[in-house]
Amino acid sequence: MARDNSPIVKQSRREGYALAPKAAKVMARKNGIPGEHAGQRSRSQSLYLVQLREKQKVRRMYGLLEKQFSKLMKEATRAEGLTGENLLQFLERRADNAVYRAGFATTRRQARQLVSHGHFLLNGKRINIPSIRLNPGDVLEVRQKSQKSDYFKTVEGMTTPLSWMKADTKKLKIEVTGLPKREEAEVGINEQLIVEFYSR
């Protein structure tokens, strides 16, 4: 299944959740699902559809393909602890999400692109795989060559401090100091619905 590269605003309206700051502004003016027959789809939804939409929302939020998300869910099920919380922690620990959380990108889509283009080093080694999972003690930093680009000269950094990482906007470095807490994941996620969807 190909990655959904449709406009982020359209995806956001489809899921009823702003997946980017730009989408939040548009959704403040336009409510509901996009499309000619959107009104016909706004009736009461079955539990299955509610679970499906929650899964799709989170999958799009973090930019995963269906196969990637399903694989991650299986791993979260096997891990110790609550499956839903494991899933969110795995998503938060992705390299592209860390770049976004640190304020080095304005959206996760942009962060994924920055990592894919090889602008970052992980513990001194160049990476280009956005899904790499970070562990406590890891250091993710912008390559010396990339730091000279106009883009990285304008990075503002994180607006909300997180317990599991430290971001240095001068050195363009991210230090992973721990593991993400459940309350530090994106707001508005009901992970139990996702667990129930895959438990059918």
Domain assignment of residue 44, yes or no: yes
Domain assignment of residue 97, yes or no: no
Predicted local distance difference test score (pLDDT) of residue 7: 73
Do 83 and 27 share a structural domain?
Answer: yes
Q: Residue 142's domain is classified under what CATH number?
A: 3.10.290.10
Which DSSP category does 44 fall into? P
CB 155 within 8 A of CB 104: yes
Provide mean pLDDT across the span 96-124.
Answer: 97
Do 76 and 44 share a structural domain?
Answer: yes
Highest mean pLDDT among 22-26, 33-37, 40-44, 134-138: 134-138
Q: Residue 26's domain is classified under what CATH number?
A: 1.10.1050.10
Q: Where are the beta strands (DSSP E) in 3-87?
A: none
Nearest one of 190, 196, 199 to 54, comparing CA atoms: 190
- Summary mean pLDDT of the chain: 89
pLDDT at 85 over 80: yes
Maximum distance among all alpha carbons in the chain? 53
Q: Within 10 A of 55 (CB to CB), how many other CB atoms are there?
A: 21
pLDDT one-digit tens code per residue, 37-80? 555 555 568 999 999 999 999 999 999 999 999 999 999 999 99
- Its domain, for residue 166, covers 103-179
